[in-house]
Amino acid sequence: AKDSGRNTYRFYTDKMNIDAMERLRMRNGLAEALLKQQFVLYYQPQFDLHSAELVGIEALIRWNHPEKGLILPDKFIPIAEQTGQIVPIGEWVISEACRQAKAWQQQGYAPVRVAVNLSSLHFKRGDVIKMITGLAQEHDLDPQYIELELTEAIMLQDVDHILDIVKTFKTLHFTLSIDDFGTGYSSLAFLKRFRVDKLKIDGSFIRNLEVDTHDLAIIRSIIQLAKGFNMRTIAEGLETQEQLEILRREGCQEGQGYFFSYPLPVKQVVKYLHVAPGP
Ligand code: C2E
Ligand code: CA
Ligand code: CA
Ligand code: CA
């Protein structure tokens, strides 16, 4: 019995060592990626569903790994959240997105709003307001061209603290949206006090919209809810003409997805930008 106990113990420590090793390797890799500037932003355009005008662009991170090539965020963002490295990584994302948005303006394109994804850790650690306003100032970018995508996970934190931060961002004219809306924790009571500009309807409700009447019921109520609160709605993961037509009919204002465009590297996304009208 003593032996099997020891074996069990050994089994678990070996397993834990592998996980710990893997995590350590990833942590080192991420630190090196930051240092050696291996992260890169891709940009996915967002459109008004009625006028087909470009309304914004979401910045999505990728890791350009020297050996493994382009790594998608699902492979490293969850680990960065665990190690806390999402804080400096997110800071890099915001800085780079601001720099790029300003560069487009300087190249003569009409200003476009760039949306960035924030982690709930940004709200827990340090001064997120100071960090973001500082980066906007550093790049001389007006906050109206920055959209902050929050996840419903932040609502698990101290409500008054989050409300204060959100109010301050609003006062400073940042755009705020709730990402992956409908999959998380937001209660209706919370939304009532939480004056964001936009709800991003999660792609999981769009995927089977043509055939799933429950998804239709869900998107319908999200859109009506948003209307009642004077918020806009954007559907993510929009892939087909039929989804577009349903969303249009239901009164969803904006959309983003492969139907319009994949997330693109800077060089390719400029074709969606408009030239600024002359002076
Ligand atoms: P998300 O914020 O929900 O971003 C949308 C994801 O859906 C992106 O995946 C995008 O490429 C993908 N997508 C866009 N259109 C379609 C479509 O029509 N069909 C389908 N099936 N997918 C579509 P991506 O770029 O792999 O990012 C995955 C997640 O990683 C993001 O989900 C976001 O949660 C996270 N992420 C990405 N960049 C950042 C970042 O800079 N910071 C943080 N904290 N998280 C990020
Ligand atoms: Ca997002
Ligand atoms: Ca999303
Ligand atoms: Ca999503």
Q: Considering the entire predicted model, what is its pTM? A: 0.93
Sequence-distant (≥ 6) Cβ neighbours of residue 3 within 8 angstroms: none
Judged by average pLDDT, the poorest of 7-16, 41-50, 54-63, 225-234 is 7-16
| CA 8 from centroid of its chain's CA atoms | 42
Residue 3 confidence (pLDDT)? 46
Residue with more model confidence, 31 or 15:
31
Evaluate whether 93 touches 117 at the Cβ level (below 8 Å).
yes
Q: What is the mean pLDDT of residues 152-168?
A: 88
CA distances from 199 to 44, 57, 267 (A): 17, 15, 29
Say whether 158 sits in a helix, a strand or coil: coil
- Helix (H/G/I), strand (E/B), else coil: 156: helix
Ligand 1 atom showing the smallest separation from residue 73 Cα: 30
Give the model's pLDDT for residue 10. Answer: 52
Q: Whose CA is nearest to atom 30 of ligand 1?
A: 73
Average confidence score pLDDT of the chain: 92
Instruction: Point out the ligand nearest to the CA of residue 203.
Output: 4
| Contact criterion met (CB below 8 Å) for 143 and 172 | yes
- Measure the CA–CA gap between 271 and 182, rounded to whole angstroms: 32
Cα(103) to centroid(ligand 1), Å: 23
CA 153 to each of CA 107, 124, 181, 202, 259: distance values in angstroms, whole numbers, following the listed order: 37, 12, 11, 14, 28
pLDDT at 151 over 50: yes
Q: Averaged over 245-273, what is the pLDDT?
A: 98
Nearest CA to ligand 1 atom 41: 61
Percent of the residues in the chain that have a pLDDT greater than 90, as a whole number: 78
Distance 15 CA to ligand 1 centre (A): 31
Q: What is the pLDDT of residues 95-132, one digit of tens each?
A: 999 999 999 999 999 999 999 999 999 988 779 999 99
What does the pLDDT read at residue 5? Answer: 46
Q: Which amino acid does the sequence have at 91? A: E
User: Ligand 1 pocket, 45 CB below 6 A?
Assistant: no
- Which residue has its alpha carbon closest to ligand 1 atom 15? 257
